[in-house]
């Protein structure tokens, strides 16, 4: 009797993400061309007027609007393979160069922001959930209100209050102009400039995950094993970590990957407001000056970032639940 | 109608406050043209005049009366929110219904796209679309709707799949009712969830539109609050003589009030 | 050890009055009565668990202290083994982890020998310690819950219908397990099985 070869879940996931990747590449290619009245189909027109002819030429070479659709796509793919993302109107430089230059600042802001806000949010949410009584939790409304505020608005407020009015923090940039990587005190300077944007990012991202953790905790709290743990005299800390957090993690991990993507978006807006030289500032310039190639590059990179983060989260989830709670240890 | 009043009466006090605030916003939006002292396009006034009896919120650096701009913003923001919210909530629900009813390949395809859209940063794609399209209000709304229906679709699909397993609907299906009959049968069940989503999507629309405006996207002639905030923040001398108090703070507070009220209204519902 | 006078539980549609109880240290008291007569509710009230009725009494002393004032401190003195223990174990922890946390919370050390003896008395194999709850049978789970209750060396052990653990383990084994504990631990056991009560308990209170 033939044995059926089971496709391991890991392989299935990789194929799925690969398909998503292809879909994103295709969409970032197709989308601008599908929008009615887009500049790619009206090369000689109003758009061509303000742009120097050399740039226009490169634009034409990269986008090739005269070629049929499929050939355009092949050209696009080939360019992607060469890491050629086109030429930026505004910066007069290759898009890829601009983006990779900015990427390190975005990672510097968004990765710590993500980790800190997630950890803090779970901490707050679980404690809130365990302390909640029939009248609900006192922190819930403030959290909901904070969650509703658009990130850029919070960044703007923080910049006004702490950057300009109270002068507690530097109000913009990643480091003081003039100081370079080789100057002494560079690291400290970077840290000082990072602080306010990071705080704003964390504050704007904490509420959603905290509320998620709070709701999950309310549910898990009612389980028999939580009260029984108390009867056994297991310490409060252990109950919180081993009984509550361990059991809400599977539930929130799925939604967590979505929050991560929102965090990426949020960090871009914080960067834009604080003129922090990451992808966010690039985005602001691109939209203000209608720099299409740059916009497209940013779209592609941020979508890829999103897919990567989702993939990482899912793999974490799979590792966590790989412990098969149903199979005996020796089997 | 009395049903509705009864439901409102049962809401906790802070939610009733939210409804009041939202009603005020709507009223101002409707009455704005009558109450505005000057036209929003009128920039004949002396620039940067601090608040006075002639200009309740002073004027901006171009000579517009800020109070009129603020009132004008009510109309744009509120109506954009209502329209975009309605469209995305309805689109999401309709697609979810088609998905749940038809099943099979259509469901798989829609579901695939929805999962994909969920994985990309929503707002950035919206910005992307809005930048490439011609800058007018209609395109801004379409851009917002194009992407924000996905969350609605996801949850509605699950709920509709539940409902379609429900006896009454199976009965109608077995009577060879067509898709419209089924839709009508489900309408009343879906309505409460739809309304929660409507408010949620309006909230999102305001947030998105304001963010887009801050980034300079959207109709340059439509002076929404986002544009006002951007203009204020672009003005280099904003922090001298407390100019920001009457230039930046009013639209900021207006946006916050709307967004927070909408969010608190549906908290705990979806 | 335990004094309970004038205990009453009020539900929306009826009130249950309980007989006064004076239980000395080391005694084994059985509570008998048909299902639904309120045995579990009284035990839950003593343990401090939320349930639907309103508990009131004239006097309730545990080791001389007013139970109602004790709060969570009572868990250092007593152990409660509920009737349906299917969900009393954390699905994400092994049995060994449950054991370690219980010992840690009560300031006890991991005494390999004593633990093995206790496990053996309840007919639980030592290899089960590395299993997760999902891998154990219902009866094994119930017995493990009883094990955890006993391993923390409480002064008062409250058991609600332990006979639901009877799949492999026989009545005799339970009786001998409980009899071993008696003297060091005061035991209150609620059961509808007259057989079990008559074999094990010193005193039987009927509800």
For A186-220, the pLDDT digits (tens) are 778 888 888 889 999 999 999 989 988 998 898 89
Q: Which of helix, strand or coil describes residue B179?
A: helix
Q: Is residue B11 part of a domain?
A: no
Show Cβ contacts of residue A273 under 8 Å, excluding neighbours closer than 6 positions.
A152, A155, A156, A159
Strands (E), A24-177: 87-88, 93-94
Q: Which of helix, strand or coil describes residue C73?
A: helix
**Rg of chain C over CA atoms, in angstroms?**
17
State how far residue A20 is from chain B, nearest Cα, in angstroms: 6
pLDDT (mean) for C62-77: 79
Fold of C2-206: Rossmann fold (3.40.50)
C89 touching A, CB under 8 A?
A: yes
pLDDT above 80: residue B178: no
Can you give the residue ranges of every domain in chain A? Answer: 12-81, 102-277
User: d(Cα C83, Cα C161) in Å, to the nearest integer?
Assistant: 5
Confidence of residue A2 (pLDDT cuts 50, 70, 90): very low
pLDDT above 50: residue A44: no
Query: What letters, b where the CB count within 10 A reaches 16 and e where it falls short, cover B101-138?
Result: beeeeebeebeeebebbbbbbbbbbbbbbbbbbebebe
User: d(Cα B65, Cα A125) in Å, to the nearest integer?
Assistant: 45
A164 touching B, CB under 8 A?
A: yes
Say whether C105 and A232 touch across the interface (CB within 8 A): yes
pLDDT above 70: residue B46: yes
Q: Which of helix, strand or coil describes residue A211?
A: helix
How much of chain A exceeds pLDDT 90, in percent?
Answer: 7
CB-based contact A212:A125 (threshold 8 Å): yes
The pLDDT value given to residue A121 = 92
Instruction: Name C61's bridge partners.
Output: C3, C66
A230 touching C, CB under 8 A?
A: yes
Residue of chain A minimizing CA distance to C94 = A325
Which of B190, B202, B24 lies closest to B97 in space, CA to CA? B190
Which of B100, B98, B89 lies closest to B160 in space, CA to CA? B100
Q: What is the ipTM of this complex?
A: 0.86
Q: Most B CBs within 10 Å: which of A40, A45, A150, as the mutation test of the B interface?
A: A150
Whole-number Cα distances in Å, A66 to A61, A258, C89: 10, 39, 68
Angle between helices C138-151 and C95-105 in degrees, nearest 10: 20
- In the structure encoding, which two tokens stand for residue C178, read together? 């409980």
Please spell the DSSP secondary structure of B145-168, one letter per residue: HHHHHHHHHHHHHHHHHHHHTSHH
User: d(Cα C70, Cα A226) in Å, to the nearest integer?
Assistant: 20
pLDDT (mean) for B142-165: 83
CB-based contact B219:B140 (threshold 8 Å): yes
Domain CATH code at residue B89: 1.10.3720.10
Which of A101-110, A143-152, B29-38, B149-158 has the least mean pLDDT? B29-38
User: d(Cα A162, Cα A156) in Å, to the nearest integer?
Assistant: 10
Q: Nearest by CB to A150, from B134, B210, B233: name it.
A: B210
The pLDDT value given to residue A5 = 53
Q: Chain centroid to CA A179: how far?
A: 29
User: d(Cα B250, Cα B238) in Å, to the nearest integer?
Assistant: 14
Q: What burial class does residue B2 get, using C-beta atoms within 10 Å of its C-beta: 0-12 exposed, 13-18 middle, 19+ buried?
A: exposed
Strand order in the sheet with C186-191: C78-81, C156-160, C186-191, C28-32, C203-206
Instruction: Name C156's bridge partners.
Output: C78, C186
The reported pTM is 0.82
CB-based contact B9:B248 (threshold 8 Å): no
How high is the mean pLDDT of chain B?
Answer: 81
Residues of chain A neighbouring C148 (CB-CB closer than 8 A): 232
Write down the residue that tokens 């006097």 correspond to. C59
The pLDDT value given to residue A37 = 60
Q: Most A CBs within 10 Å: which of C44, C99, C101, as the mutation test of the A interface?
A: C101
User: d(Cα B1, Cα B39) in Å, to the nearest integer?
Assistant: 38
3-state helix, strand, coil in chain B (%, to 5): 75, 0, 25
Confidence of residue A9 (pLDDT cuts 50, 70, 90): low
User: d(Cα B193, Cα A130) in Å, to the nearest integer?
Assistant: 29
Q: Which of helix, strand or coil describes residue C203?
A: strand
Can you give the residue ranges of every domain in chain C? Answer: 2-206
The pLDDT value given to residue B144 = 85
CATH, domain range A102-277? 1.10.3720.10
Q: Is residue B28 part of a domain?
A: yes
Q: Is residue B117 part of a domain?
A: yes
pLDDT above 80: residue C33: no
Instruction: Name A212's bridge partners.
Output: none
State how far residue A45 is from chain B, nearest Cα, in angstroms: 13
Q: How many domains does chain B have?
A: 1
Is pLDDT larger for residue B236 or for residue B17?
B17
User: Which domain range does residue B161 map to?
Assistant: 24-37+54-265
Q: Chain centroid to CA A201: how far?
A: 11
User: d(Cα B125, Cα B128) in Å, to the nearest integer?
Assistant: 5
pLDDT above 70: residue C127: yes
Hey, how many other C-beta atoms are within 10 angstroms of the C-beta on B189? 16
Q: Is residue B32 part of a domain?
A: yes
Which of C53, C21, C32, C38 lies closest to C156 in space, CA to CA? C21
Secondary structure letter of residue B187 according to DSSP: H
Show Cβ contacts of residue B32 under 8 Å, excluding neighbours closer than 6 positions.
B71, B72, B74, B75
A25 touching B, CB under 8 A?
A: no
State how far residue B37 is from chain A, nearest Cα, in angstroms: 28
Say whether B132 and A283 touch across the interface (CB within 8 A): no
Please report the sign of the dihedral spanned by the C-alpha atoms of residue A281, residue A283, residue A287, residue A293.
positive
The pLDDT value given to residue A198 = 93
Show Cβ contacts of residue A99 under 8 Å, excluding neighbours closer than 6 positions.
A85, A279, A282, A297, A298, A301
Q: Is residue B135 part of a domain?
A: yes
Is pLDDT larger for residue B119 or for residue A211?
A211
Query: What letters, b where the CB count within 10 A reaches 16 and e where it falls short, cover A210-242?
Result: bbbbbbbbbebbebebbbbbbbbbbeeebbbeb
């Amino acid at each position: 009797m033939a044995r059926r070869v089971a496709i391991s879940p890991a392989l299935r996931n990789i194929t799925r993400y690969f398909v998503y990747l292809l879909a994103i590449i295709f969409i970032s290619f197709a989308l601008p061309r599908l929008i009615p009245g887009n500049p790619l189909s009206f090369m000689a027109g109003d758009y061509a007027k303000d742009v120097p002819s050399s740039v226009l030429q490169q634009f034409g070479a990269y986008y090739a609007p005269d070629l049929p659709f499929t050939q355009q796509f092949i050209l696009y793919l080939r360019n992607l393979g060469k890491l050629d993302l086109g030429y930026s109107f505004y910066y007069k430089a290759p898009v890829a160069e601009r983006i990779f230059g900015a990427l390190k600042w975005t990672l510097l802001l968004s990765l710590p922001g993500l980790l800190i806000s997630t950890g803090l949010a779970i901490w707050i949410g679980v404690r809130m959930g365990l302390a909640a009584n029939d009248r609900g939790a006192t922190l819930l409304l403030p959290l909901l209100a904070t969650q509703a505020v658009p990130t850029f608005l919070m960044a703007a407020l923080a910049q006004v209050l702490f950057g300009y009015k109270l002068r507690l923090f530097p109000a913009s940039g990643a480091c003081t102009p003039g100081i370079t990587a080789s100057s002494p005190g560079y690291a400290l300077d970077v840290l000082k400039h990072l602080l306010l944007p990071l705080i704003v990012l964390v504050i704007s991202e904490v509420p959603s995950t905290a509320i998620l953790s709070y709701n999950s905790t309310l549910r898990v709290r009612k389980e028999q094993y939580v009260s029984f743990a108390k009867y056994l005299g297991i310490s409060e800390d252990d109950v919180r970590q081993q009984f509550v957090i361990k059991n809400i993690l599977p539930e929130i991990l799925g939604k967590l990957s979505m929050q991560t993507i929102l965090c990426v978006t949020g960090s871009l807006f914080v960067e834009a407001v604080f003129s922090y030289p990451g992808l966010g500032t690039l985005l602001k310039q691109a939209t203000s000056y209608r720099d299409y190639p740059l916009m497209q590059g940013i779209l592609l990179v941020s979508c890829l970032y999103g897919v990567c983060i989702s993939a990482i989260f899912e793999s974490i989830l799979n590792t966590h639940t790989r412990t098969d709670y149903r199979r005996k240890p020796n089997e | 109608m009395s049903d509705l009043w009864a439901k409102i009466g049962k809401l906790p006090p802070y939610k009733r406050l939210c409804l009041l605030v939202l009603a005020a916003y709507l009223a101002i939006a409707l009455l704005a043209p009558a109450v505005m002292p000057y036209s929003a396009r009128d920039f004949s006034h002396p620039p940067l005049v601090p608040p006075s009896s002639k200009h309740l919120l002073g004027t901006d650096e171009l000579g517009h009366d800020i109070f009129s701009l603020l009132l004008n913003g009510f109309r744009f923001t509120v109506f954009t929110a209502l329209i975009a919210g309605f469209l995305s909530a309805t689109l999401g629900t309709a697609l979810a219904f088609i998905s749940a009813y038809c099943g099979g390949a259509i469901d798989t395809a829609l579901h695939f796209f929805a999962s994909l859209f969920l994985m990309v940063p929503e707002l950035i794609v919206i910005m992307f679309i809005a930048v490439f399209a011609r800058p007018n209000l209609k395109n801004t709304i379409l851009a917002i709707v194009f992407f924000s229906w996905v969350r609605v679709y996801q949850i509605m699909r699950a709920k509709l799949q539940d409902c379609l397993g429900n006896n009454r609907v199976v009965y109608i299906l077995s009577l060879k009712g067509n898709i419209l009959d089924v839709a009508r049968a489900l309408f009343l069940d879906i309505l409460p969830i739809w309304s929660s989503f409507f408010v949620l999507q309006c909230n999102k629309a305001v947030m998105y539109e304001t963010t887009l405006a801050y980034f300079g996207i959207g109709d340059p002639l439509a002076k929404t609050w986002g544009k006002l905030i951007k203009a204020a923040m672009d003005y280099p001398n904003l922090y001298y003589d407390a100019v920001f108090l009457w230039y930046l703070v009013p639209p900021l507070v207006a946006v916050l009030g709307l967004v927070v009220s909408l969010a608190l209204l549906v908290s705990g519902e979806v | 050890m335990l004094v309970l006078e004038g205990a009453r539980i009020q539900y929306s549609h009826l009130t249950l009055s309980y007989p006064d109880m004076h239980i000395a240290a080391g005694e084994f008291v059985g509570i008998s009565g048909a299902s639904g007569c309120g045995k579990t509710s009284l035990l839950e009230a003593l343990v401090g668990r939320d349930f639907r009725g309103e508990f009131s009494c004239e006097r309730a002393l545990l080791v001389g202290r007013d139970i109602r004032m004790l709060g969570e401190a009572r868990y250092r003195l007593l152990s409660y083994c509920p009737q349906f223990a299917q969900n009393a174990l954390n699905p994400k922890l092994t049995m060994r982890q449950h054991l370690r946390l219980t010992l840690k919370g009560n300031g006890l050390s991991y005494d390999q020998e004593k633990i093995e003896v206790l496990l053996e008395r309840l007919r639980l194999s030592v290899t089960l310690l590395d299993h997760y709850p999902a891998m154990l049978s219902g009866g094994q789970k119930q017995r493990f819950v009883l094990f955890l209750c006993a391993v923390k060396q409480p002064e008062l052990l409250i058991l609600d219908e332990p006979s639901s653990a009877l799949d492999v383990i026989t009545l005799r084994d339970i009786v001998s397990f409980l009899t071993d504990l008696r003297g060091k631990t005061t035991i209150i056991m609620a059961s509808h099985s007259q057989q079990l009560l008559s074999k094990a308990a010193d005193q039987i209170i009927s509800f």
